[in-house]
């Protein structure tokens, strides 16, 4: 059976994962094919693909998970579990539960003698404890390095238990791009859940919407509201789905994702193998982003006129609110740090509030997204800095300290200690999407600018670990090749 991707995301056509410089220069060199991956001679820890594989699947209703890894690899699962629990509360679920997962806690002894027995026991324990319909087994660097034959363990187990057992080969060392973890998860769904020869009857008006656990309930409702205008109803995948809903993927007439990075490979696969057309745009965040996302689906279903009328009504409704917020936000300089798709969406969103992009940190800069990055230059000019980095807080704080933005949008764990006003752009608990999300997010930005006292106080009491001398260095000093 064909797999949807057999390479990591860094191996996609002309994908840069390390680099930095002014946007116009990066774009120029990229188009001349002179932009090379600028390896770092010093780097801090990065986000790994395993966490994205887990995040994609964590909210599935009838699933349970074994993470075949040392305990540290699931550090981030606690915040996803938090999203999952709040998500259940927002959806009116009475008996809120934790995500069902077991970590095999690979230790020194397992590294020497192998961890296959532990893995087998974990799957059996999980199965008898929760009786799930599907068990996902996530691998890790440690299980990959010691060469545990996870597939063989699973094949043997499959004869003993009813639940489908699915290996997800997401060893962190295999890819520098966290989004590879999404492809790995979808690859496993193709291989173990979808039945290749099955051609189920189509369900009129059904659209697959691909989303992860990080999408909040209000955002879910906003997406449904938009798609209902076009006469569509939603099969969410893998977000709060089930084995049954996964199998329903093939019944859909169309597909769309909440972001151009998530599920792009999978939607292409579904188009090629099952003739399910799809639309691919940026996230429905901000006026421009929401209009484009909505219109692209409308074009897919042949209802552009309906969409344009609706867009016009929504603009009339939200623009007066936006204009009020603009009084405070107009002209403010912004630095953004987020995943590639959400970062681009955030950088278009700030246009609505008259704000100007001075810097953006993004995990990839690649052929598939160059038009989006160039679009940002049309909005903000070509002077803003792009830091192509998976995390790397030392570069981020150096740039922020130099560029002196008035506001920081995105993952602000580090810069909040510099006293800069900030708010989220990846938030499973509060609205972000569509026209309603825009007003909510605008008010959050307004509040944070009006009252930055928490971050100011934090900066007085909590210092970042860098020496003063680092802030006057070139932020890209440790890139082996500069633009």
Q: Which residues bind ligand SF4 (CB under 6 A)?
A: 48, 50, 69, 73, 140-141, 171-173
Contact 279, 230 (CB under 8 A): no
Our CB check for ligand SF4 shows the closer of 54 and 123 to be 54
Rounded-to-integer distance, Cα 239 and Cα 134, Å: 15
Contact 204, 233 (CB under 8 A): no
Our CB check for ligand SF4 shows the closer of 126 and 142 to be 142
* Number of C-beta neighbours around residue 378 at 10 A: 9
What separation, in Å, do the N-terminal and C-terminal C-alpha atoms of the chain show?
42
Specify the DSSP class assigned to residue 159.
Answer: T
- Residue 171 CB, nearest distance to ligand SF4 (Å)? 6
Cβ-proximal residue to ligand SF4, closest one: 172
Cα dist from 276 to 20, 197, 468, whole Å = 38, 15, 55
- Residue 40 CB, nearest distance to ligand SF4 (Å)? 16
- Residue 97 CB, nearest distance to ligand SF4 (Å)? 25
Strand (E) or helix (H) holding 50 = helix 49-57
Q: Is the peptide bond before 238 cis (omega within 30 degrees of 0)?
A: yes
Q: Which residues lie closer than 8 Å to 335 by C-beta, 6 or more apart? A: 357, 358, 359, 360, 361, 399, 400, 403, 405, 407, 408, 409, 415, 420
- Residue 220 CB, nearest distance to ligand SF4 (Å)? 29
Our CB check for ligand SF4 shows the closer of 63 and 391 to be 391
- Residue 214 CB, nearest distance to ligand SF4 (Å)? 18
Contact 174, 11 (CB under 8 A): no
Our CB check for ligand SF4 shows the closer of 69 and 300 to be 69
Our CB check for ligand SF4 shows the closer of 71 and 447 to be 71
Phi-psi region of 114 (alpha: psi -120 to 50; beta: other; left: phi over 0): left
Our CB check for ligand SF4 shows the closer of 137 and 226 to be 137
Our CB check for ligand SF4 shows the closer of 181 and 434 to be 181
Q: What single string gives the DSSP state of each residue in 70-127? A: -GGGGTTHHHHHHHHHHHHHHTT-SS-----EEE----HHHHHH-SHHHHHHHHHHHH
- Residue 47 CB, nearest distance to ligand SF4 (Å)? 8
- Residue 210 CB, nearest distance to ligand SF4 (Å)? 23
Cα dist from 89 to 30, 86, 149, 242, 327, whole Å = 46, 5, 39, 19, 35
- Residue 24 CB, nearest distance to ligand SF4 (Å)? 34
Our CB check for ligand SF4 shows the closer of 143 and 279 to be 143
Our CB check for ligand SF4 shows the closer of 314 and 390 to be 390
- Residue 44 CB, nearest distance to ligand SF4 (Å)? 13
């Amino acid at each position: 059976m064909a797999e949807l991707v057999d390479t990591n995301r860094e191996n996609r056509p002309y994908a840069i994962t390390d680099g930095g410089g002014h946007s116009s220069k990066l774009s120029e060199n990229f188009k001349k094919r002179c932009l090379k991956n600028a390896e770092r001679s010093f780097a801090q820890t990065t986000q790994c693909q395993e966490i994205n594989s887990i995040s994609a699947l964590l909210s599935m209703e009838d699933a349970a998970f074994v993470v075949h890894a040392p305990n540290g690899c699931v550090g981030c699962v606690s915040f996803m579990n938090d999203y999952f629990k709040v998500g259940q509360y927002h959806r009116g679920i009475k008996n809120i539960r934790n995500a069902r997962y077991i970590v095999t806690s690979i230790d020194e002894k397992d590294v020497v003698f192998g961890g296959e027995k532990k893995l087998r026991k974990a799957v059996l324990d999980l199965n008898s404890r929760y009786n799930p319909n599907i068990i996902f087994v996530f691998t890790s660097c440690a299980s990959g390095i010691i060469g545990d034959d996870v597939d063989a363990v699973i094949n043997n187990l499959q004869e003993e238990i009813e639940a489908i057992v699915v290996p997800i080969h997401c060893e962190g060392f295999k890819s520098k791009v966290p989004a590879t973890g999404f492809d790995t998860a979808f690859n496993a769904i193709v291989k173990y859940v979808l039945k290749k020869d099955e051609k189920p009857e189509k369900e009129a008006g059904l659209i697959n919407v691909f989303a992860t656990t990080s999408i909040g309930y209000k955002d879910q409702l906003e997406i449904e509201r938009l798609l209902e205008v076009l006469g569509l109803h939603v099969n969410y995948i893998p977000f709060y789905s089930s084995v049954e809903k996964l199998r329903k993927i093939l019944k859909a007439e169309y597909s769309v994702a909440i972001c151009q990075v998530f599920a792009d490979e999978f939607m292409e696969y579904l188009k090629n193998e099952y003739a399910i057309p799809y639309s691919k745009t940026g996230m429905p965040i901000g006026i421009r982003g929401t209009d484009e996302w909505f219109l692209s689906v409308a074009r897919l279903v042949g209802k552009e006129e309906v969409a344009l009328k609706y867009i016009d009504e929504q603009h009339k409704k939200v623009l007066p609110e936006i204009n009020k917020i603009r009084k405070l936000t107009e002209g403010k300089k912004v630095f953004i740090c987020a995943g590639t798709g959400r970062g681009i969406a955030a950088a278009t969103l700030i246009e609505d509030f008259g704000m100007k992009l001075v810097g953006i940190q993004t995990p990839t800069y690649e052929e598939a997204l160059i038009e989006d990055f160039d679009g940002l230059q049309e909005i903000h000019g070509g002077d803003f800095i792009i830091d192509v980095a998976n995390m790397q807080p030392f570069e981020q704080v150096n740039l922020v300290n130099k560029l002196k933005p008035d506001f920081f949008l995105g993952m602000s764990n580090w810069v909040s200690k510099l006293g800069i006003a900030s708010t989220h752009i990846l938030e499973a608990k509060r609205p972000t999407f569509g026209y309603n999300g825009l007003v909510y997010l605008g008010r959050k930005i307004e509040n944070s600018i009006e009252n930055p006292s928490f971050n100011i106080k934090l900066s007085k009491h909590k210092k970042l670990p860098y020496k003063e001398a680092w802030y006057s260095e070139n932020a890209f000093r440790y890139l082996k090749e500069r633009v």
